Amino acid sequence: MWSSLPFDGFAWPWLLLALPLPWLLRRLLPPARSAAAALKVPYGARLDAIAGTSGHARGGGVGVLAWLAWALLCVAAARPQQLGAPVAPPQAGRDLMLAVDLSGSMSDEDMALGGGLVDRLTAAKAVLADFLDRREGDRVGLIVFGQKAYALTPMTLDLDSVRQQLDDSVVGLAGRETAIGDAIGLAVKRLGRQPAQQRVLILLTDGVNTAGLLDPIKAAELARDNGVRIHAIAFGGSGGGISVFGLPIQLPGGGEDIDEATLKRIAQLTGGREFRARDTEQLAGIYAEIDRLEPVQREGQRVRPRIERYPWPLSAALAIGLLAFAAPRRGRA
């Protein structure tokens, strides 16, 4: 029934209950008393009959117009609305794949967090949790890698699932070695369905490629050929240390154990950036920088705006009201 009308519904349909209000008032209120006749004539009854007939003829049309104007006013007060064409507002978002290293070296306790020392994975989780809290509207996927690479969550808007999977990850879950190349290869496969400008991988590692079937540089070339941009983050302090009474102690022969040259080459090949983070503060700053580097305009959910149509019945009610007001004057002319 509604499809044949020029509107799709009312914002305040309860105001249509006012339609019979004039009829109810006429029924409930006592009739107005007419003034006593000032002059009585023998043919007064005949004049009353003639006047009543002609007045009814003229007043009947006026009454219909008045009722029609009132009905249109009630319709206008109920605010008829029409659904407009679907529109898709732009939404600032990103499609990001996170690849997090779970190799054995991520258990080194050389990261300061909350006034104490924690292992690298715990520090990375804390920073990534804050990163995910600011990703409302983004699609994020999670890959973890050690000796092998595994996709824990696909690209999804459900960031709580990504956060939960990250919280449940532990060092050694994927093996204690480091397969950087395999992690990149798996990310390229997962990102292949995304638009070209949205294929972004954030690679977080603290080591050197020591496992896997795919060489990291070859994997980076594969990413480049598939339009995947890689931001590589070398994370961790000096390797080879231990913690005694909460204080880091560097063992002889210890030093930087991160292959920054390879990570830099990976980023260069794919058009991304290479970062070095030696503490949680630097890591948080890096993710803030990635926020700035990777803004993507993605179409938001389509909505149909509601267009107000009350001016139509309101204008018609005013026109009919003026016509009803002018009709008796034409009858007396």
User: What's the CATH number where 208 sits?
Assistant: 3.40.50.410
| 127 shares a domain with 51 | no
Strand ranges of the sheet holding 9-10, from the earlier edge strand across to the other edge: 9-10, 80-83, 306-308
Q: CB–CB of 280/111 below 8 Å?
A: yes
3-state secondary structure of 85: coil
| 188 shares a domain with 292 | yes
- Structural domains counted in the chain: 2
Residue 110 lies in a domain: yes
3-state secondary structure of 203: strand
- Is the torsion defined by CA of 192, 145, 133, 266 positive or negative? negative
Would you state the pLDDT for residue 300? Answer: 59
Q: How many Å apart are CA 138 and CA 46, to the nearest integer? A: 87
Amino acid letter, 210: T
Residue 35 lies in a domain: no
| 254 shares a domain with 165 | yes
* Angle 274-279-283 from CA coordinates, rounded to 5°: 45
Amino acid letter, 268: Q
Would you state the pLDDT for residue 89? Answer: 59
| 328 shares a domain with 203 | no
Chunked in runs of 10, what are the mean pLDDT values of the chain (333 residues)? 59 85 79 55 54 49 78 86 71 78 89 81 88 79 93 90 92 90 93 76 89 93 92 74 46 57 93 88 85 65 76 86 69 45
| 213 shares a domain with 177 | yes
Would you state the pLDDT for residue 41? Answer: 54
| 109 shares a domain with 68 | no
Would you state the pLDDT for residue 310? Answer: 80
| 220 shares a domain with 98 | yes
Domain that holds residue 255: 90-299
Which among 176, 5, 169 is positioned nearest to 105, based on CA atoms? 176
According to DSSP, the β-strands at 200-205 and 229-235 are: parallel
Q: CB–CB of 109/280 below 8 Å?
A: no
Q: How many Å apart are CA 184 and CA 270, to the nearest integer? A: 11
| 323 shares a domain with 268 | no
| 252 shares a domain with 187 | yes
Long-range CB pairs of 73-76, under 8 A, 24+ apart, other chains included: 73/313, 73/314, 73/317, 74/15, 74/16, 74/18, 74/19, 75/16, 75/310, 75/313, 76/310, 76/311, 76/312, 76/313, 76/314, 76/317
| 140 shares a domain with 280 | yes
Q: Which residue in the block uniquely carries the two structure tokens 């389509």?
A: 302
Q: Is the pTM value of this prediction over 0.85?
A: no
| 263 shares a domain with 210 | yes
Q: How far is Cα of residue 26 from the mean position of the Cα atoms in its chain?
A: 53
Residue 134 lies in a domain: yes
| 119 shares a domain with 78 | no
